[in-house]
C-alpha cells in the first residue's frame, strides 16, 4: 500500500467506529504501529506490499500524518487484525470541469494478520470500506491494484464484484528482481450491490 496524498479530510465525514458483524473499523493512530507490526513484519504479508521496512522505519512511516490520514485499523474482538487504506483522490478531468471531479475517486488497499485469513474478514472489512466510499465519502469510482500473482488479493476484489479493467504485462519490478504483471480493478458506486452470497453456501 502506498500513501501518497492527503485524504481531503475524508475520515472526518464518518461516524466512527464502523461496526460490521465481526469487525470494527476506526482511523489508525500512531499508537497502533506495534499492533500493525504483528502482520506488517511477516514476509508472507510484505511479499506483495510496496515495502518490507525494518521495525523502526515501519513505526516512523506508520505515524506520518499523510499515512494515518488514509489508514484504518481493523479489529476483531478488541484485537487489531488488519489495516485498510482508503485514499480519496481527484478523478482525471479536463480543466474546465476539474472542480466537479475533486475527491470523487478512492483507491483501496488492505493487509490482514495471516492467522485470521481464510474466514472472510478481508471481504467483510473491504465491503465496509466500499460502503463508506459510496455513502458518507461520496465517492463515484473505487479502484485497487495488485500484482497478478497476488491471487488472494484479486480473488478478494472479484468476491466484492470489482471489475478487472487492466492487465499490465511485466509492468512492475518486484524485490525478487522479477518484472511482474499487474492488475487493476474498479467499481462504480452505482454498481455496488453489497457482498454477493457465497457460491459454496445456500445463504
Ligand atoms: C489479500 C488478503 C487480505 C486476503 O485474505 P483472505 O483471507 O484470502 O480474504 P478473506 O479474509 O476475505 O477470506 C476469504 C477466504 O476465506 C473463505 N471464507 C470463509 N468464510 C468466509 C466468509 N464468511 N466470507 C467470505 N469468505 C469466507 C473464502 O472462501 C476465501 O477463501 P478462498 O480464497 O480459498 O476461496 C491477504 O491475503 C493478505 O493480507 N495478503 C497480504 C497483504 C496483501 O497482499 N495486500 C494487498 C496488496 S495489493
| Four-way CATH pick for 10-145: 3.40.50.620, 1.10.940.10, 3.90.920.10, 3.40.630.30 | 3.40.630.30
Name residue 138's beta-bridge partners: none
The pTM score is: 0.96
Quote the pLDDT of residue 5.
Answer: 65
Q: Which of 87, 153, 195 to mutate to test the pocket of ligand 1 (most atoms within 8 A of CB)?
A: 153
Quote the pLDDT of residue 7.
Answer: 84
Q: Could you tell me if 91 and 188 are in contact, meaning their C-beta atoms sit under 8 angstroms apart? A: no
Quote the pLDDT of residue 197.
Answer: 83
- Residue list, ligand 1 pocket, CB within 6 Å: 45, 48-49, 110-112, 117-123, 146, 150, 152-153, 155-156, 198
Quote the pLDDT of residue 60.
Answer: 98
Helix 121-134 / helix 151-159 crossing angle, nearest 10 deg: 50
Distance of CA 168 to the CA centre of its chain: 20
Distance from Cα 31 to the centre of ligand 1, integer Å? 26
pLDDT per residue over 99-113, tens digit each?
A: 999 999 999 999 999
Q: Is the dihedral of CA 151, 148, 67, 57 positive or negative?
A: positive
Q: Could you tell me if 14 and 139 are in contact, meaning their C-beta atoms sit under 8 angstroms apart? A: no
* Spans in the chain with pLDDT lower than 70: 1-6, 199-203
The domain spans of the chain are 10-145
Task: Annotate 106-145 with DSSP letters as a single string.
Answer: EEEEEEE-GGGTTSSHHHHHHHHHHHHHHTTT--SEEEEE
Amino acid at each position: 500500500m502506498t500513501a501518497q496524498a492527503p485524504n481531503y479530510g475524508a475520515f472526518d465525514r464518518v461516524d466512527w467506529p464502523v461496526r460490521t458483524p465481526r469487525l470494527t473499523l476506526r482511523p489508525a493512530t500512531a499508537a497502533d504501529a506495534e499492533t500493525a507490526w504483528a502482520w506488517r513484519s511477516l514476509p508472507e504479508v510484505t511479499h506483495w506490499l510496496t515495502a518490507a521496512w525494518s521495525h523502526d522505519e515501519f513505526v516512523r512511516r506508520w505515524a506520518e500524518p499523510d499515512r494515518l490520514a488514509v489508514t484504518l485499523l481493523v479489529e476483531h474482538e478488541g484485537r487489531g487484525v488488519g489495516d485498510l487504506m482508503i485514499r480519496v483522490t481527484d478523478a482525471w478531468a479536463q480543466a474546465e470541469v476539474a472542480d466537479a471531479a475533486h475527491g470523487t475517486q478512492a483507491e483501496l488497499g488492505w493487509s490482514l494478520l495471516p492467522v485470521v485469513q481464510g474466514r472472510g474478514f478481508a471481504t467483510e472489512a473491504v465491503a465496509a470500506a466500499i460502503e463508506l466510499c459510496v455513502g458518507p465519502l461520496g465517492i463515484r469510482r473505487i479502484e485497487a491494484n495488485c500484482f497478478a500473482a497476488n491471487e488472494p488479493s484479486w480473488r478478494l476484489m472479484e468476491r466484492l464484484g470489482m471489475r478487472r479493467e487492466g492487465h499490465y504485462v511485466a509492468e512492475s519490478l518486484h524485490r525478487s528482481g522479477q518484472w511482474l504483471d499487474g492488475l487493476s480493478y474498479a467499481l462504480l458506486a452505482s454498481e455496488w450491490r453489497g457482498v454477493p452470497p457465497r457460491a459454496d453456501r445456500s445463504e
